[in-house]
Structure 1
Amino acid sequence: MKKLFALFLAMIMALSLVACGGGDTATDDTATDDTATEDTGDAAATSDIEVAVVLKTLSSEYWGYVEAGCKAAAEKLGISVNVVGPGAESDIEGQVSMIEQQIGAGCDAIVCAPNDAGAAGAALQTAIDQGIPVLAVDTNVGIEGQTCFVGTSNVDAAYEGGKWAIEQVGSDAKAVIIYGQEGDNTSNMRREGYEKACEEAGVEVLDALSGQNTTDGATKTMEDMLNAHPGEIDIVLCHNDDTAIGAMNACKNAGVSDITIVGFDGNESAVELILAGEMVKATVAQQPYEMGYQVVEAAVKAINGEAVDETINAPVEVVTAENGQEYLDNLAAMKG
């Protein structure tokens, strides 16, 4: 539209010059201006692309890295990106409302990390019905017509974290799992991965409870577990790093120190605790910045009619005291 408008203005300018008695030189100048207008129009058309990104929340370090990756890709590609998210991952209705608002505002593609895949999918179906590309990041929506999923195999990643903890403590250990939001697909898959590692090693899982994806929620959950299993818990396998910190706080409050806690996400705050020798001994690090970058790249390809892989896998690593500083240095470089 901007390009057509620019060409229309150029035609008016040309006619005005003729009306004022402009000769051949004026006509040549106008031709030169047309070329410049064509280039400006192409740039404007690129910048007209708008990608909406609805994350689980923006009140978390992890999702801040996803947001940073999205914005970096948008800047590189010369497009607009609008990143939003509710105040907490438990706010399913709030996220659905945001999805509906972004679609109603007329985005060219929408990216979502669903708090509840069913609820988000129902809202995103409207975009698919309108021919708007729908992409999932970190957590798969998995609805018919979805363009792409960019994320990690949460089962495999949690399995690696659980396996690492068992290797440190021994197969005669006993573990508990603090999973995330009830019904959340990511939470289910991470729990599955942790349980797989424990089952293979013969480690007894004493309990598995939700920590509501928050530090405070996990603190309360860990307090309940300590009371229910006094002196028995050797390993705590957590849904994310906020959960791991909550579990650590509960242990400290109870005067317990001989427990190995594993987080998930690779947040800077968790890695600093690991390097300081706290009870959080490891975190399964995803690549949230890369996820954000890659999903916006994929969205632009879809908008332009280019082929996009249905699944784009992001790598993971278990961050410990041995590789923690190198990992933090890499995070710092990404943030600039």
Structure 2
Amino acid sequence: MSRGRLRKTMAAPLVGGLALMLTACSNGAGAAPGDGGDEIVIGASVADQKSLFYVAAAQGMEAAAEELGVELRLTSANNDSAQQVKQINDLITQQIDALVFISQDSTAAASGVAAANAADVPVYAVDQRPEDGSGDLATYIATDSVKAARDLCTWMFDQMGGSGKIAIIRGVLGSTAEIQRTQGCNEALEEYPDIEVVAEDAANWDETEAYGAAQNMLAANPDLDAFFAESDAMAMGAAKAAQQAGRHEGMYFVGIDGFPTMFDAVSEGLVQATMAQQPYAMGKLAVEQAVAQLKGEGDELEPEQYQDTVLITSENVDTEDVKDYYGPDAKRSN
């Protein structure tokens, strides 16, 4: 994907690789970062390094740090909110110059931002953010999940001929993405009065949980036509449950993420569509903008920088390159 698909960005060449740089470094007294003093040090805290989204975002951060000649200290919370808060406090004591933050949940988000604010460390939030206006952010970079879900559901409803019964599998309740993706599909539903939601459940972005939820939904609704899942993993879980039940043919299954595995699933006909996000570019952008601001360069940042998604279907899955979305290490199996 070209950088032109990103809005309000600063151009920089893409380079690959992921490194966890954890060596200590403190800034010299009286010297501003990047103006002849010590090296700029960017702290980064991500929710985990298992999710392909977070892996790609971290790779983008490292690529930007390498290109710009700054140090990146990257930590992963392993989906533990308390651990993430501790890691952020540790980074702050190491005198980082800025924090790039993908929070595990609202608790970690609020506490992490508050700690950085107290230390006068600017925070560049990616993907997740504190709700209810908690804390001050330099900027918030994320997928436009409302638009992504609205466009995806609209596409699916059109494929269904504007009528039918659907099930919705939601992500972690109360998370930024879950709230926004639910809102987006609800906006699409308002335009299609003959689409009926007959079942809803949460599966916490997990394929196995979605498989079980879909089994129950299929059993309770013998005339179900489609599943809108708020993530790719959950869409695949629902599709596999329908296959196991002998109900897959003629049904629609869609998700949001654009994982390499989902590209494969679209090619194979397991699912019909995904909305591909740009985590690699978002992670890279956060570091680029943090460095530019620390050096006193670049334009004033918008408070919110929403990035577009791209609809992937059988019509374009073989021409779109998953590496444009999930970085140079992203691979399809076929």
* TM range, smaller chain: 0.7 to 0.9
2:257 paired residue number: 265
Aligned match for 2:238, one of 225, 240, 247: 247
Amino acid at match of 1:210: A
- CA shift for structure 1 position 334: 4.2
Give percent identity, aligned residues only.
28
2:7 paired residue number: none
Which aligned pairs between 1:171-210 and structure 2 lie closer than 5 A? 171-202=162-193, 203-210=195-202
Within 2, Cα distance between the matches of 1:333 and 1:66? 8
Within 1, Cα distance between the matches of 2:201 and 2:322? 34
Amino acid at match of 1:158: A
Unaligned segments of structure 1, at least 5 residues: 6-40
Within 2, Cα distance between the matches of 1:117 and 1:235? 31
Change in Cα spacing, 1:261 to 1:44, as seen in structure 2 (3 Å) is: farther
SS of residue matched to 2:134: coil
Aligned match for 1:214, one of 206, 217, 235: 206
- Quick check: 1:108 aligned with 2:101? no
- Greater displacement, 179-188 / 301-310: 301-310
SS of residue matched to 2:89: helix
Aligned match for 2:118, one of 114, 129, 135: 129
Runs of 4+ in 1 over 4 A off after TM superposition: 1-5, 41-46
- CA shift for structure 1 position 83: 2.8
CA contact 1:2–1:44 (8 Å) conserved in 2: no
Within 1, Cα distance between the matches of 2:28 and 2:215? 65
- Quick check: 1:145 aligned with 2:139? no
Aligned match for 1:331, one of 309, 324, 331: 324
Change in Cα spacing, 1:108 to 1:4, as seen in structure 2 (3 Å) is: closer
Which aligned pairs between 1:1-336 and structure 2 lie closer than 5 A? 45=37, 48-88=39-79, 91-141=80-130, 142-202=133-193, 203-229=195-221, 231-257=222-248, 258-278=250-270, 280-306=271-297, 307-328=300-321, 330-331=323-324, 334-335=327-328
* Superimposed CA distance per residue, residues 22-41 of structure 1 (whole angstroms, 9 cap, x where no aligned partner): xxxxxxxxxxxxxxxxxxx9
Change in Cα spacing, 1:83 to 1:205, as seen in structure 2 (3 Å) is: farther
* Superimposed CA distance per residue, residues 291-331 of structure 1 (whole angstroms, 9 cap, x where no aligned partner): 11111111112333443332222121111111112223653
Change in Cα spacing, 1:4 to 1:153, as seen in structure 2 (3 Å) is: closer
- CA shift for structure 1 position 178: 0.8
Change in Cα spacing, 1:333 to 1:291, as seen in structure 2 (3 Å) is: closer
CA contact 1:301–1:308 (8 Å) conserved in 2: no
RMSD: 2.6
Within 1, Cα distance between the matches of 2:114 and 2:192? 42
Within 2, Cα distance between the matches of 1:332 and 1:154? 16
Amino acid at match of 2:82: E
- Greater displacement, 325-334 / 217-226: 325-334
Which structure's CA Rg is the greater one?
Answer: 1
CA contact 2:35–2:295 (8 Å) conserved in 1: no
SS of residue matched to 1:101: helix
SS of residue matched to 1:143: coil
CA contact 1:195–1:205 (8 Å) conserved in 2: no
Q: Which has the higher contact order (CA 8 A, sep 6+)?
A: 2
2:19 paired residue number: none
Amino acid at match of 2:295: N
* Superimposed CA distance per residue, residues 22-65 of structure 1 (whole angstroms, 9 cap, x where no aligned partner): xxxxxxxxxxxxxxxxxxx979846x222122223210112221
SS of residue matched to 2:240: helix
CA contact 2:45–2:87 (8 Å) conserved in 1: yes
Within 1, Cα distance between the matches of 2:234 and 2:323? 23
CA contact 1:66–1:288 (8 Å) conserved in 2: yes
SS of residue matched to 1:201: coil
Within 2, Cα distance between the matches of 1:283 and 1:3? 44
Q: Which has the higher helix share?
A: 1
- CA shift for structure 1 position 166: 0.8
Amino acid at match of 1:317: V
- CA shift for structure 1 position 87: 3.0
1:32 paired residue number: none
Within 1, Cα distance between the matches of 2:90 and 2:226? 43
Within 1, Cα distance between the matches of 2:27 and 2:83? 37
- CA shift for structure 1 position 174: 1.2
* TM-score (ref. length: structure 1): 0.80
* Superimposed CA distance per residue, residues 147-201 of structure 1 (whole angstroms, 9 cap, x where no aligned partner): 1011122111110111111111122111111111122121111111112212211
How many residue pairs match? The answer is 296
